[in-house]
């Protein structure tokens, strides 16, 4: 990790004074530290939780009504809120984006995106009923058979990876935990 992966910070969120980047005693990485109250402002990855909802050999996808990737399809997922479990976050996001209730089957994919300091957790889940509709963040919600998945219109590579693995697993009918990462190549500075 380098300081390039830190979100820039100028002022202390505790007291409003200036912060400077340095390595705290006993630590190994640079942190923003307040010049006045000496608070160390740690930055850690964010968790995105979501579902891969299934119904009758089809999977549910949402067409995004928000940026980024407006108009493209994705699995329902979003940032965890404080105080939630990962399952609660996945269920909440599925309700908000697809207005459907699901039962979680198992954790399916854990994909790290170190270049943006995010970790995606996607759960397999079953729709309780084939009832769904576009929430405020979606233009449309549809069930897709494997051969109907809009591969060229998927919003995020991490979702494409998860769906590709899922389609492979459909062949065997076994869905072991899929742990992987997605790294964006770093362009050399010119
Ligand atoms: Zn401070």
Query: How many whole angstroms from 20 Cα to the centroid of ligand 1?
Result: 11
Mean pLDDT of 86-113: 98
Alpha-carbon gap, residue 1 to 16, rounded angstroms: 27
The dihedral sign for the CA sequence 53, 115, 43, 12: negative
Query: ∠ CA(138), CA(140), CA(143), 5° rounding?
Result: 120
Domain ranges of the chain: 1-43, 46-181
Query: How many whole angstroms from 21 Cα to the centroid of ligand 1?
Result: 13
pLDDT of residue 4: 65
Provide, rounded to the nearest whole percent, the portion of the chain with pLDDT above 90.
Answer: 92
| 187 has pLDDT over 80 | no
Tokens linked to 82:
């404080």
Query: How many whole angstroms from 29 Cα to the centroid of ligand 1?
Result: 19
pLDDT of residue 61: 98
| 167 has pLDDT over 90 | yes
Query: How many whole angstroms from 138 Cα to the centroid of ligand 1?
Result: 40
DSSP 92-145: HHHHHHH---EEEEEEEEEEEEGGGTEEEEEEEEEESSS-----TTEEEEEEE-
Higher pLDDT, 183 or 106: 106
Mean pLDDT of 168-181: 97
pLDDT of residue 186: 57
| 6 has pLDDT over 90 | no
Query: How many whole angstroms from 37 Cα to the centroid of ligand 1?
Result: 4
Query: How many whole angstroms from 13 Cα to the centroid of ligand 1?
Result: 7
Nearest to 157 by CA among 141, 181, 139: 181
Query: How many whole angstroms from 48 Cα to the centroid of ligand 1?
Result: 29
Mean pLDDT of 55-81: 97
pLDDT of residue 56: 97
What's the pLDDT tens digit per position in 114-148?
999 999 999 999 999 999 999 999 999 999 999 99
Query: How many whole angstroms from 75 Cα to the centroid of ligand 1?
Result: 40
Domain 1-43 matches domain 46-181 at the CATH topology level? no
Three-state secondary-structure class, residue 153? helix
pTM of the shown model:
0.90
Query: How many whole angstroms from 31 Cα to the centroid of ligand 1?
Result: 13
Query: How many whole angstroms from 128 Cα to the centroid of ligand 1?
Result: 49
Query: How many whole angstroms from 25 Cα to the centroid of ligand 1?
Result: 18
Provide, rounded to the nearest whole percent, the portion of the chain with pLDDT above 70.
Answer: 95
- Highest CATH level, class, for 46-181: alpha beta
Pairing relationship of beta strands 102-113 and 178-181 according to DSSP bridges = parallel
Query: How many whole angstroms from 118 Cα to the centroid of ligand 1?
Result: 26
Residues 52, 59: contact at Cβ < 8 Å? yes
Q: At the topology level of CATH, where does 1-43 sit?
A: Ubiquitin Ligase Nedd4; Chain: W; (2.20.70)
pLDDT band at residue 27 under the 50/70/90 scheme: very high
Query: How many whole angstroms from 47 Cα to the centroid of ligand 1?
Result: 26
pLDDT of residue 2: 57
Nearest to 109 by CA among 159, 70, 63: 159
pLDDT band at residue 160 under the 50/70/90 scheme: very high
């Amino acid at each position: 990790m380098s300081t390039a992966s830190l979100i820039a910070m100028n002022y202390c969120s505790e007291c409003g004074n200036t912060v400077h980047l340095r390595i705290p005693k006993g630590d190994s990485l640079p942190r923003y530290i307040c010049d006045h109250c000496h608070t160390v402002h740690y930055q850690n990855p964010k968790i995105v939780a979501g579902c891969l909802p299934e119904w009758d050999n089809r999977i549910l996808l949402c067409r995004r009504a928000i940026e980024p990737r407006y108009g493209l399809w994705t699995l329902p997922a979003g940032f965890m809120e404080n105080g939630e479990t990962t399952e609660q976050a996945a269920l909440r996001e599925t309700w908000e984006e697809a207005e459907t209730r699901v039962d979680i089957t198992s954790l399916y994919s854990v994909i790290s995106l170190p270049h943006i300091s995010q970790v995606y957790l996607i759960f397999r889940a079953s729709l309780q009923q084939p009832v769904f509709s576009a929430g405020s963040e979606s233009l449309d919600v549809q069930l897709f058979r494997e051969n109907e998945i809009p591969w060229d219109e998927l919003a995020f590579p991490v979702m494409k990876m998860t769906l590709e693995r899922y389609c492979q697993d459909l062949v065997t009918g076994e869905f072991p935990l899929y742990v992987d990462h997605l790294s964006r190549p770093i362009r050399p500075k010119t």
